[in-house]
Structure 1
């Protein structure tokens, strides 16, 4: 039997989740949607206001009869979740408040494989500290996205960051004094897609991200597919191609050797071309590549067509396996997507009836770090009493 305190906590969580999922509403509507009494809802709202998690906003006038009500909405401006992304050539930090607004965002071009994990985590820690001193005051937790498989907070596989295998990421950020969780970058990106934007609430979705490697996140029945060892969605290492190019995982012929960022840059530019300079910010390099494609550069267009066709071949397998409502392209795929969609859909249509299910992510390179921030906020939605009453002061 639940204690009175547990029941209270569960009711607070139900009210907060209702506002998160359904938007602002009156106390009467909140009572109807949660099945709680109006008196209980009034008490819950008063406590959530004291904790700085909700605010009373505009006057609600559903009709001409009776007293108008006051809308209750998520506030949480003093409560943030922080996402951190460690990728091959950059670090990123993003903070979301309880209402989903971005309170801080920063990005650092960095040759991560060229540094020891402890050095990279020290830089990430400094970026988080800067965020907390800026717009991310009231942080309640951190979630770190890494391009590999994770068990607990330890990196277990990382084909493109082999020096990170065995690294306890949470221990490396312990000096920040906040709870730290760690997840796969593509999984967190998929969660971001179903939590916000045009695909919010879609129960069956496949997310593909293109970076140095290729990652995938699969949401089925509204749940993230993790697999028995947490490596579900590692689609970049499927042997989907006839080629035998070596992959960072040690095998040959992996899908990412054909459609990963390295494959695109090798096909589009010579080794001494600035496009292939890892010291430059990736978004700057992709902007240059897009400019060449829009100017009609034959080599660039041919390279992009090859990537799109290769994506369609692999996506067909994933559609046949998971039957998603939508396949979302993220990472660099989304940035150059205008040149990938036609060859991708052509290759897809030749194999499965799903050419209309492909969409470009609107989150761009922020998907993983945004998904991390969402996860970092989840404990507040699970138990709002974790935020002290004085948070609103």
Structure 2
């Protein structure tokens, strides 16, 4: 797991290193120390207060105070004595709690809306995908459906007595993360859509933080923290959807660019005499390797844009392609071979630019990986710079079409780890009569 640290580790509490400070300074320091303790237990597992103090450099009194607050917020719990071989009475081990704190991630894509929720400890509470033709609807209709999915998810979490720490929505396009506005999502036909603001108006409680981000970036983070390439400090993630997006992890950090728009690899022009893309340009990479391109070549009678009254999820489209392949339809082999070659050609440019160790392919790419990867890898080695391509390989994601919604939920969890005060202190339940006496 990628680990990032906040707070002091140089002996004593951070607050003790300041001779004086304003109340605002003290609040910031305490928030930082709360994050330090919570993140430490989250990443390294159960340990006693004294061990936490020793490993973080905070003094024991400070740790005891911080732990009490984290327990009151429902983020840490005691699980029993920790036997570490030391002489004397063993201390009570602390572990991540968060069973009552939930993170909700959503993804809006061309033909589905996905929802994924976990508690702070990582227990999966919701994992589903709803077929929906976002390409055939205006943004208001799509957001209405998104709000409905969110409402159902929040109701389920409420029944589980889980408080929602936040919501993050993944969208395949350029997103102004500071405002929650989607500047442009070509395959959805969205331009200047204020997603966060719209969801508040649609009934999401105002005390639930809402953020919006690019789907490929969120999927890349999910892969980096818990996927097949977990911990690989230099990787590229490629979505395998109607459109193609890329998330780039470089030196262990997500590469976002000056405006947060890095990774729009699907709209790199690869064929000046090719098909017109949804963005309006000619010959973009996604016109060669996007799911719409595969469907157009392999099952032209059911291509995207042909509204025959049947709502098709990506899994259903792939199942139909597999059936035709099993029946010996030559168009399927030709189509997969063509996609594989263009996948390798475009990836050669990415390897030359970013020098990753791994290219993780998600979505439908992963479903057809056994046939796509050999072709793509051969093309990559033919076109890429010799040294870099020799040490880079394609691997198939095991997160399916839900990688972006997983990453979206992960963003909410990370926000809690960075600022535990975002979670309200739980009201204490009345003590039983005997205890009160």
TM-score, normalised to structure 2's length? 0.83
Verify the 8 A CA contact 2:272 2:282 in the aligned structure 1.
Answer: no
Q: Does 1:370 align with 2:398?
A: no
Q: Which range moved further: 237-246 or 76-85?
A: 237-246
Residues 204-219 of structure 1: pairs in structure 2 closer than 5 A: 204-219=234-249
Verify the 8 A CA contact 1:15 1:30 in the aligned structure 2.
Answer: yes
Shift in Å, 1:201: 3.0
Deviations 1:133-163 (A, max 9, x none): 113631121111111101231111222122x
CA distance in 2, matches of 1:290, 1:272: 14
Verify the 8 A CA contact 2:173 2:185 in the aligned structure 1.
Answer: yes
User: Hey, what does 1:145 align to over in structure 2?
Assistant: 170
Higher relative contact order (CA 8 A, sep 6+): 1
User: Hey, what does 1:259 align to over in structure 2?
Assistant: 289
Q: Does 1:335 align with 2:335?
A: no
Report SS of the residue matched to 1:107: strand
Q: Which range moved further: 96-105 or 168-177?
A: 96-105
Shift in Å, 1:320: 1.1
| 2:315 maps to which of 279, 283, 286 | 283
Verify the 8 A CA contact 1:89 1:109 in the aligned structure 2.
Answer: yes
Verify the 8 A CA contact 2:78 2:95 in the aligned structure 1.
Answer: yes
CA distance in 1, matches of 2:62, 2:86: 26
Residues 7-156 of structure 1: pairs in structure 2 closer than 5 A: 7-57=29-79, 59-63=81-85, 65-135=87-157, 137-151=162-176, 152-156=179-183
Q: Which range moved further: 379-388 or 8-17?
A: 379-388
CA distance in 2, matches of 1:229, 1:356: 28
Shift in Å, 1:220: 1.4
Report SS of the residue matched to 1:165: strand
| 1:187 maps to which of 217, 228, 234 | 217
Gap runs ≥5 in structure 1: none
Report SS of the residue matched to 2:301: coil
Shift in Å, 1:317: 0.9
Shift in Å, 1:59: 4.0
Q: Does 1:360 align with 2:390?
A: no
Q: Does 1:171 align with 2:197?
A: yes
Change (3 A) 1:361 1:105: same
Report SS of the residue matched to 1:127: helix
Q: CA RMSD in A?
A: 2.4
Residues 293-372 of structure 1: pairs in structure 2 closer than 5 A: 293=325, 297-352=329-384, 353-354=389-390, 356-372=392-408
Report SS of the residue matched to 1:139: strand
How many residues end up aligned between the 2 structures? 392
Gap runs ≥5 in structure 2: 1-20, 430-437
CA distance in 1, matches of 2:302, 2:358: 38
CA distance in 2, matches of 1:42, 1:184: 40
User: Hey, what does 1:235 align to over in structure 2?
Assistant: 265
Change (3 A) 1:242 1:166: closer
Deviations 1:340-359 (A, max 9, x none): 11111111121232465321
Q: Which range moved further: 66-75 or 92-101?
A: 66-75
CA distance in 2, matches of 1:228, 1:6: 27
TM-score, normalised to structure 1's length? 0.92
Change (3 A) 1:229 1:295: same
CA distance in 1, matches of 2:121, 2:230: 14
Shift in Å, 1:293: 4.2
CA distance in 1, matches of 2:228, 2:163: 28
User: Hey, what does 2:432 align to over in structure 1?
Assistant: none
Change (3 A) 1:194 1:143: same
Verify the 8 A CA contact 2:216 2:245 in the aligned structure 1.
Answer: yes
Larger radius of gyration: 2
User: Hey, what does 2:253 align to over in structure 1?
Assistant: 223
Change (3 A) 1:287 1:45: farther
Verify the 8 A CA contact 1:78 1:392 in the aligned structure 2.
Answer: no
